[in-house]
Amino acid sequence: MKKEFFFDKESNEIIENCIRRHKEIKSEIYHRNESKQLKNSVELAENISDISINDIIKMLIAIKYDPDLRTMSISLSRRSQLFDKLILMKSNDKNPWVLRVHIYPVVDMREGFVTNLGTKADSESFVHFHRWQLTSKFITGGFLNSQYEVLKTGNLETSFQEYELVATKDAGAEGRKAVWRGVGYPQKKASDIYQQGDHVHYPIEIPHRVDTSAAGLFGKTITLAHTGESQKKTSTFYLKKESEGDVVDNLCYSEKEFDSAVDTTITTLQLILLNQELINFGFKRFGHANSLETELLPTIAMCELEENFKEKGDDSNLIADTINKHTDKMDKHSLKNLIARSQEVLMNQGLFKRTIADIHNPEMQEAIANRGNNQVPRHVLGQI
C-alpha cells in the first residue's frame, strides 16, 4: 500500500525515493552478510564502503518520515556524553547489526571541559571497551584516537574508576545508567589522528578514548558508524574521578528533539556537499579542514544579509549562485541555527584554529604532523 505523507506531490516523491533507497541499502547489507558471520570489524567495514553522503541524507529523511523507521530510530537514538547518535537502521535476523550516524560537538577537551550533555569532565575520562565490533567512515572533521591496555595493578595516580553499561535497548527511558565495578588501570599505548575520508575499524579487544580537541582545526566531526553483533553483555568505561550519584551515559530524544537533530544533520551534510562543489570550482579558501565553519557559513550569512551580495573578483557571482542553489533546498531553521552557532564560536570563543601550532596538546600536534607526513594509522583501512 502506498504511503501518503500529506505534502505536495514533489515532496512526497522525494520522501518515497528516500525510503526506497533506505530499503535498498539494508538489502545490500543483508546480501553481503549471507556469506560471512561479521566476526571482526574489518569484515563489517565492507558493508558501508560504498555508502555516500547523499545516501546518508536519504536514510535520515526516511527515518524522519516513515512511521516504522521513525519509531525504531527514536527508540534507539541517544545523546551521550561524547556525541549524538541517530540510528539509521538495524537488522532483525540472527546476525544483529546497526547502522548509525555519530555527531561530535566542537569542544576542546581540556581539564573541566563541558561534555555533550552539559556536565563537566576531566581531560582523561572516557577510556572505554565496546560490546560489539565497530567500523566507521569519517564524513567530516577528525579526532585523536588513543588506544590503551588495562593493567591489573597500579597506583593511585594511574587508577581510574571502572563502570559497566547495559545495552541501549535494555536501558530505561531516563537514560542508560552506569554501574560502578571498582578500579582499573588503563595505560595509553598509542595515539593516532582519524580525519575526513578515513575508513576505520576499532578492534573490540583494544580499549580506546576519543579526544575532539582537534575540532578547532578539523571542524565538526560526523561519522557513519556500523556495529555488529554484541560480543559481550555490557560495555565498560573509565572515569578518572569517582562520580557523585548516578552516571548517566546517554539520554533519549523527544519527538521534537529527534526532528531537530535529523534536520540539523541533514543540513550539515548538505553544507558539506556545497563546500565540496565550491572546492571543485577552484575556490581554495573552502579547501581547509574547518572551512565549513570558518568560511562557508560566514559567507552564507553575508548572502542572507545582502540580497545582492558580491565578493571581490570575477567569480563572486558563481559563489553566490552556487550557495543560493544549494541553500534553497535546506531547512531554513537548521541553517539559521548552524550559522548562529558558528558565529558564536568564531566571535566569542576563538576555538577554530588555522595551524597545528594553535593546538594546545603536544601529543595531538605530533599525531596531526604524522598524518601530514603520510603516516596512515594501522586501523585506517583506506580513504573514501
Round to whole Å and give the CA distance between 309 and 306.
5
- Beta-carbon count within 10 A of 183 CB: 14
3-state DSSP assignment of residue 152: coil
Q: Provide the phi-psi class of 182: left if phi over 0, else alpha when psi is between -120 and 50, else beta.
A: left
Q: Are 77 and 88 in contact (CB under 8 A)?
A: no
By the 8 A CB rule, do 173 and 248 touch?
Answer: no
% of the chain surpassing 90 pLDDT? 50
Q: What is the pLDDT of residues 326-372, one digit of tens each?
A: 999 999 999 999 999 888 877 655 667 667 777 778 888 899 999 98
Residue 241 to residue 244: CA distance in whole angstroms: 9
pTM: 0.90
195-240 tens-digit pLDDT:
999 999 998 889 999 999 888 889 899 999 999 877 777 788 888 8
Helix (H) or strand (E) holding 231: none
| Cβ atoms of residues 296 and 322 within 8 Å | no
Distance (Å, rounded) from C-alpha 335 to C-alpha 226? 27
Confirm if 135 and 223 have CB atoms less than 8 A apart: no
By residue count, the chain amounts to 384
Q: What angle do CA 343, 137, 297 make, to 5 degrees?
A: 15
Range from 47-51, 346-350, 372-376 carrying the lowest mean pLDDT: 346-350
List, in sequence order, the alpha helices (H) in 281-357.
291, 297-305, 316-327, 332-344
Cβ neighbours of 242 (radius 10 Å): 11
> How far, in Å, CA of 238 to CA of 124, rounded?
9
pLDDT 10s digits, 130-189:
888 899 999 999 999 999 999 989 998 889 988 887 766 665 555 567 788 889 999 999
Least confident of 26-30, 118-122, 289-293: 118-122
Residue listed under C-alpha cell 524522519: 64
